[in-house]
Amino acid sequence: MIFTAGQIAGILEGEVEGNPEITVHKLAKIEDGEKGALTFLSNPKYTPYIYTTKASITIVNKDFVAEQSVLTTLIKVDDAYESFSKLLKYYDLTKTLKSGIEEPVFISESATYGKNIYLAAFSYIGDNVVLGDDVKIYPNVYIGNNAVLANGVVVHSGAKIHSETHIGNNCVIHSGAIVGADGFGFAPGEDGVFSKIPQTGNVILEDDVDVGANTTIDRATMGSTILRKGVKLDNQIQIAHNVEIGEHTVIAAQTGVAGSTKIGKHCLVGGQVGIAGHITIGDHVRIQAQSGVGRNVRNGEKLQGSPALNFGDYYKSYVHFKNLPSIVDQINELDKKNN
Report how far apart the first and last C-alpha atoms of the chain are (Å, whole number).
83
Q: Which helix H or strand E contains 85, and what residues bound it?
A: helix 80-95
* Residue 238 to residue 147: CA distance in whole angstroms: 21
Q: Residue 319 carries which DSSP code?
A: H
Element (H, E) at 311: helix 311-338
Residue type (1 letter), 78: D
Query: CA–CA separation, 1 vs 228, rounded Å?
Result: 36
Element (DSSP H or E) covering residue 10: helix 5-12
100 beta partners: 118
Nearest Cα to 248, choosing from 204, 277, 285? 285
Q: Say whether 241 is catalytic.
A: yes
List the catalytic residue out of 241, 266, 284, 320: 241
Q: How far is CA 252 from the centre of its chain?
A: 8
Q: What are phi and psi of 300, to 5 degrees?
A: 80, 0
The Cα–Cα gap between 115 and 113 comes to: 7
**CA-to-CA distance for 304 and 286, rounded, in angstroms?**
9
Label the pairing between strands 210-211 and 232-233: parallel
| Beta bridge pairs of residue 173 | 155, 211
Residue pair 306/322 in contact (Cβ under 8 Å)? The answer is no
Residues designated catalytic: 241
